[in-house]
Amino acid sequence: MSTILHLETELKSCGIDKDTAEKISHSTVDNLRKDYGGEHIYFPKGKELDAILKHHEIYKRWNGHNQVELSKEFNMTVPAIYRILKKAHQKEVDERQNQLAF
């Protein structure tokens, strides 16, 4: 039942009306039950994904001068923020360079 509620809440937060969110969540859980009923399913905590999303958010919000503010907001050291920015910038440059390859 909690899975249905989680899905409904998420769908409604995306702007889907209550009735449609309810139908989608019930259908999804029913399909999962049919496909995986009786099996053990492991959901990782997602620490690596959380870190990637956090780093992306830091890079997205960086304006070239707000490293200290970002470090306070994300509870990180300024050098850690610089490392994240450097990696993200290098990844962006690498992706652009790949687009230029013939």
Q: Is the pLDDT of residue 102 over 70?
A: no
32-47 residue pLDDT tens:
999 999 999 888 888 9
Please tell me the distance from the alpha carbon of residue 53 to that of residue 61, in angstroms, as a whole number. Answer: 12
Q: What is the mean pLDDT of the chain?
A: 92
72-98 residue pLDDT tens:
999 999 999 999 999 999 998 888 887
Model pTM score: 0.58
